[in-house]
Amino acid sequence: MMKVEVYPSKVSGEIIPPPSKSFLHRAIICAALSSGTTKINNVIYSQDVVATIEAFESVGVSIDRGANSLVIKSNGRHSFNIDSPINCNESGSTLRFLIPILSTNKKVLFTGKSSLLNRPMDVYEDIFLNQKSQFKNNGLSIMTNGEIIPGNFKIKGDISSQFISGLLFILPLLSGDSSIEIIGSFESSNYVDMTISILRSFSIIVEKDKNTFFIKGNQTYNSTEITSENDFSQLAFYAVLGTINNNIKITNINYDSFQPDKRIIDIIQLANGNVEKGRNYAIFKRSNTHAFTFDVSQSPDIAPILAVLAVFSVGKTRLINAKRLAMKESNRLLTTYKSLKKLGAKITLGSDYLEIVGTKKLQGNLCDSFNDHRIAMTLAIAATVSDSKITIDNAEAINKSYPHFYEDLKSLGVKINIV
């Protein structure tokens, strides 16, 4: 376990966010399902992305890892040789995307850390059982026996969009046409839009009519060259840092992205933050922000850092519709509350919301990351404006999505000591 001390520091400078792991998962999957050679540019080897790479390597896909690119050679889905468990480590995307793709008409085991296997999997369990296939989760592994078959799927919209994307990867390869109808409020819908956009880059077409998706069968993935976007989820930490600490310029921004967390810019402006936007950059300037109300159901990953912004905003901020935060690497609703409470924030925890009264001050302390990368990064940003250092226990949690986060913070002038 690693401890990191982060000290109050005035920041300045320019930063490029890391590549989007959401984009990379999808591009790697499409490349593995293609016949031929695909090159993916702008790659970061976070633990989650490595989990997807290694899963496909374990079934016979050739993946050459460059310094910041991947070359993937595959004959497509039907050549996969699955004779050992598929280890998904702690990556929810890897597990939920690959279950429908790699399940066959013989037993397949998916393994990973207990924190992953205890996440809800009811959607797939119901689909497999309805299609007369097997799906068993004993807490140590998930066993499937049977392939997904074409059909008309009805899925509740208040579950993880990863289930929908998982189906969208496999359904175009099947022998018949399919549809997916979303029932009720469609949360994190932009992630599905991202999936459809990346599928299109590999010649797979999904039609959409309101909350129903139509997927023709017998389609073929075509290899290509593709470049990952940079990650708005990670950009959010620097955006808040610039707003509450000192001016930061963030470059290589794709404003046309489908990433739902790009709304961080709108939220900061809603809170009266001063943001200067250019063609592919934004400068976040230190601002006197005021309280805001934000529905985090579409962007749960940025909720913890928004709570820090709320501490430095005048008035009472409400982060609402946050129940899905309980199903992340940690119960992020609870761990955000515990972390900021320990730092002296005036924060209230509800069943599906957080309420923060702005006090414009935080105190140093020893805090646990709860093995959650978003909590570790949130604590590091908070430390730069606290009254004394914050020591982060289990600080290596950042490796899940952003291994060089502390180095990038140092480049902006943050004093960091690795214990």
Residue 85's pLDDT band, with cuts at 50, 70 and 90, is very high
Q: Do residues 59 and 176 both lie within one domain?
A: yes
8 A C-beta contact, residue 221 and residue 251:
no
Q: What is the mean pLDDT of residues 96-101?
A: 96
Which sequence positions are flagged as catalytic?
301
- 308 in Cβ contact with 244 (< 8 Å): yes
pLDDT value of residue 81 = 86
Segment (H or E) for 320: strand 316-320
**Is 143 in a helix, a strand, or coil?**
strand
Q: What are the Cα distances from residue 298, in Å, to 13, 80, 182, 191?
A: 30, 34, 15, 9
φ and ψ at residue 151, rounded to 5 degrees: 175, -170
Whether residues 211 and 261 share a domain: the answer is no
Among 164, 197, 227, give the residue marking a domain's end: 227
The whole-chain average pLDDT of the chain stands at 94
pLDDT in tens, 226-258: 999 999 999 999 999 999 999 999 999 999 999
- What is d(CA 274, CA 248) in angstroms, rounded to the nearest whole number? 11
Q: Are residues 41 and 102 in the same domain?
A: yes
Tell me which of 82-86, 212-216, 392-396 is least confident.
82-86
136-156: pLDDT as tens digits: 999 889 999 999 999 999 999
Q: What is the pLDDT of residues 299-337, one digit of tens each?
A: 889 999 999 999 999 999 999 998 877 767 778 899 999
- Both tokens assigned to 368: 């646990």
Strand order in the sheet with 316-320: 293-295, 316-320, 354-357, 346-349
**What's the average model confidence in pLDDT over 369-378?**
94
Structural tokens at position 211: 């909350």
Residue 4 and residue 323: Cα distance in Å, rounded? 30
CB 34 within 8 A of CB 221: yes
What was the pLDDT predicted at 327?
Answer: 67
- Are residues 140 and 184 located together in one domain of the fold? yes
Tell whether 283 and 174 lie within a shared domain.
no
Predicted pLDDT of residue 299: 87
Side chain identity, residue 143: M
Same structural domain, 152 and 14 = no
Alpha helices in 83-170 (DSSP H): 92-102, 114-117, 122-130, 162-170
Domain holding 152: CATH number?
3.65.10.10
Pair (185, 297) in one structural domain = no
Provide CB contacts within 8 A for 130, sequence distance 6+: none
Mean pLDDT, range 182-208, rounded to an integer: 93
For the chain, what is the domain count?
A: 2
Residues 254 and 192 in one domain: no
The single residue listed with the structure tokens 């993916």 is 40
| Bridge-based pairing state of the strands 390-393 and 366-368 | parallel
Strand order of the β-sheet with 35-41 is 62-65, 69-75, 35-41, 225-227
pLDDT > 70: what percent of the chain? 100
Q: What is the mean pLDDT of residues 171-175?
A: 96
**pLDDT-based confidence at residue 113 (cuts at 50, 70, 90):** confident
Residue given tokens 């059982």 in the structure block:
129
Work out the average pLDDT over 344-357: 95
Domain that holds residue 239: 3-18+231-418
Residues 63, 8: one domain? no
Cβ 339 vs Cβ 375: under 8 Å: yes
Phi, psi (degrees; rounded to nearest 5) at 161: -65, -10
Instruction: Transcribe 97-113 into DSSP letters.
Output: HHHHHH--SSEEEEE--
Do residues 41 and 167 both lie within one domain?
yes
Residue 315: which residues within 8 A CB-CB, separation 6 or more?
290, 291, 357, 358
pLDDT band per the 50, 70, 90 thresholds, residue 362:
very high
User: Averaged over 282-308, what is the pLDDT?
Assistant: 94
Give the model's pLDDT for residue 282: 97
| Helices marked H in 254-315 | 264-270, 303-311
CB 362 within 8 A of CB 311: yes
Of 198, 227, 256, at which residue does a domain stop? 227
d(CA 300, CA 310): 16
Q: 13 and 153: one domain? A: no
Residues 218-223, mean pLDDT to the nearest whole number: 96
Residues 48 and 107 in one domain: yes
Residue 218 CB neighbours (<10 A): 11
Examine the fold and report which residue of 227, 259, 274 is the final residue of a domain before the chain moves on.
227
**Burial of 194: CB neighbours in 10 Å, binned 0-12, 13-18, 19+:** buried
What confidence tier does 158 reach under pLDDT thresholds 50, 70, 90? confident
User: How much is the pLDDT for 331?
Assistant: 87
Whole-Å CA distances, 356 to 14, 27, 111, 227, 345? 30, 38, 38, 39, 8
